[in-house]
Chain A
Amino acid sequence: MAAGVVTPIGADLESFWSGLLTGVDGITTIERFRVDDLKVRRGGEIKKLAERTADVSCRATRLLTGAADDLLARAPLDADPRRVAIVLGTALGGVEELELALDDPAETSHAARALYDAPAHALAARLGARGPVMTVSTACASGATALGLGADLLRAGTVDRVIAGGYDILCRFVMRGFDALRSLTRERVRPFDRRRSGLLLGEAAALVMMARDGEAPARLGRLLGHASAGDGVHISAPDPGGRGLALAIRQAMAEAGVDGSAIDLVSAHGTATQLNDRVETRVLRDTLGPRAMTVPVHAIKAGLGHTMGAAATLEAIACLLAARHGLIPHTLGFEEPDPECGLDVVAAVPRAARVRVSLSTSLGFGGCNAALVLEGAAA
């Protein structure tokens, strides 16, 4: 597995990683679209993005193109194009293109890009990938589901390489929605902190190149196990009992052939809403047993914003980089532990640790839950 990213704290993998370690805060006042009528006007907006070109004007595709350029600079795509799959997760797809199409009833190019799978096909065309092109939309768990489906394609022998990951842009549509839900905070994002008051949104694209063991051109780590499960409880809120997330974690660990004692790091979904962080804590206690109270936990959304479809892939990449460098990035905004949570959240400064196996958890609208178990490769 190799990786490439574009994020609010860094436009490539190195700057993303150094930004996590140095605690760069990518949250700024949103400038790209109108926010004056919203209660919260901040987010993880990427201020500088590669120039719009004639063949790439959709912002989502531009994000993906940037991440792909970063990825391919460190791991060339050397497989038969017919054996290369694209599997991307997104919560919003091309919804901003729909907004633009509705603004101008005579215009056609925005309309053609309004379907949620348009950016994935645009990326496939750009990379010359001629195998399966899949778009996954399990809301904010999409980036994890995409990695899992990509691994399945490799395991089945359907393809030899998979470009998998996730993306989403920060746009007025989603800001209005979360603003209406009152999920956004006017304060700092504080995962697992006693004073946490909600999330902020961000935008990013994160891609990994996956191959079967022994066939990887550059190795960042391995996906040992993955699973998903539905809550079947509420249209937007997580199941307070965390049943779906627990099932996903257990199945992912079973597939990986590990139990809770083997987990060296948990990358939590950590949105910093009251309910999410409580549910995650309960589920980690249930699934990891005594290890839940001692395993290092971190959450990276405070500095990036919640990047939705990209979030889980970014978090998986952070797990693998933590293993490579023996350093766990700290959780921005975490200062006063919530006694109801009681996890060992990495605070204040990065923590030196030997990380081999990581667990990454994700939750999304519609009761989507996903878990990844990853094994990092030491540098």
Chain B
Amino acid sequence: MSGFAVRALGVVTGWGRGIEALSAARPAASPAVLAVQPSVRTGERLRRATRECLLAVDAVDALLEDGGLSREDIAGPGTALVYVTAAAYGASNRAFIGGGGGALHFPYTAPSAVPAEVAIEFGLHGPYAVLIGGATATIDAMEHARVLLSRGACARALVLAVETFQECADVLARGGVGCDAPLVEAAVAALLVRADAAERGEALERAAPAESAARERVAPPEPAARERAAPAEPAAPERAVPEAPAARERAAPPEPAPPESAAPESAAPERAAPEAPGAREFNDTLACAPLIALASARARGERRIDLRGAWRGREATTTVGVQGPAHPGWREG
């Protein structure tokens, strides 16, 4: 299966707009949530769109600017859209529950409303998925993008993560999210292309992939870039992030599974991953963390970036190449 490279990134966070703002990111201030407001937009089409939808559109606009791309470059069935969030539907759900609810508002309570507004705004008609969860779901989203790219189901994949917390901060805190540090709202978009195309320096192909191109029905198992860490020892703490390097776990033959008691269904999501480098410093952006980590690594000039995400005691990793120049002006704060 082919690897992939990031062609462009758009970053909007509670620390500020753009990759440059990340240098002033930490430590976060005292409020429970560092909020971010979307750009002011006029016109009818996005008049009813929620804050999370508008932030998503902002992130894609920032991505286009970052990559020197036009809207036409990504429009059409050749662009896959894979959206991920842990919580960016909470505000709409709460408003609907508390406000009596109406026909115009109800569709925005679905997590799929955010990618829908992006697809409408930018004319995206390609493969489509919505994943719910924290940083591991974002790694899953990137892996799904890799699958779509390697099969030729799309020419490029837009991975989009959005998190908003402000309207539900009290519920999230009660549920164990955002207790130890402020949550930081964010919207981040990454445009991924096949690594081999990136190495050849190909411009974005505007044409859609041939619909008739049959994918392999059963691809032979290959070592996937994503590896799942599994606890090597019995009785690992239920919510602890495993320490074992993923690749080693994959290489080793399966061992008898350690007994595991069922976790209480009300167990709070575990965000912090002390052993996890990369996305750790942005963990308070939940699903946005891996993409922000990707942006910061690119800005440091890294050309091959290992990303790791942790959520609810699970962990996922992936590796991404970088196409195009890094941002030399950014320095770590």
Contacts and interface: CB of A to CB of B under 8 A. Distances in A.
Q: Do A and B come from one complex?
A: yes
Interface residues of B, number: 88
A234 B222 CA distance: 39
A216 interface: no
Contacts of A110: 266
Q: Is the contact region of chain A dominated by helix, strand, or loop, or is it mixed? A: mixed
A367 interface: yes
A80 interface: yes
Given A158-B224, A250-B212, A366-B113, A236 B107 contact: yes
A113 B266 contact: yes
Nearest to A54: B264
A251 B112 contact: no
A126 interface: yes
Contacts of A152: 144, 147
A128 B115 contact: no
Interface in A24-52: none
Interface residues of A, number: 90
Q: Is the contact region of chain B dominated by helix, strand, or loop, or is it mixed? A: loop
B107 A254 contact: no
Nearest to B76: A232
Nearest to A84: B257
Contacts of A149: 129, 144
Given A173-B93, A232-B119, A115 B231 contact: no
A229 B228 contact: no
Interface string B289-321: 000000000000000000000001010100000
Given A125-B263, A131-B228, A251-B153, A229 B214 contact: no
A132 B316 contact: yes
Interface stretch (B32-40, B62-70, B172-180, B181-189): B172-180
A230 B128 contact: yes
A277 interface: no
A283 B88 CA distance: 33
A74 interface: no
Interface string B83-98: 0001101100110111
Given A80-B257, A155-B219, A116 B89 contact: yes
B254 interface: yes
B217 A225 contact: yes
Interface in A364-379: 364-369
Given A115-B87, A180-B103, A365-B107, A232 B120 contact: yes
Contact of B266 (A109, A131, A156, A181): A109
Interface stretch (A56-64, A324-332, A334-342): A56-64
B72 interface: no
A102 B97 contact: yes
A14 interface: no
B128 A156 contact: no
A369 B128 contact: yes
A229 B131 contact: no
Contacts of B254: 80, 82-83
B215 interface: yes
A101 B265 contact: no
Contacts of A82: 228, 230, 249, 254, 257
28 contacts: A55-B265, A56-B265, A82-B254, A102-B97, A111-B176, A112-B266, A117-B86, A121-B267, A122-B263, A133-B312, A134-B133, A138-B112, A138-B129, A173-B109, A177-B101, A180-B101, A212-B218, A212-B221, A229-B126, A230-B128, A235-B107, A236-B107, A244-B128, A251-B127, A251-B211, A365-B113, A367-B112, A369-B128
Interface of B: 1, 77, 81, 86-87, 89-90, 93-94, 96-98, 101-103, 106-113, 115-117, 119-120, 122-133, 136-137, 140, 143-144, 147, 151, 153, 170-172, 174-177, 211-215, 217-219, 221-224, 226, 228, 230-231, 238, 249, 254-255, 257, 260, 262-269, 312, 314, 316
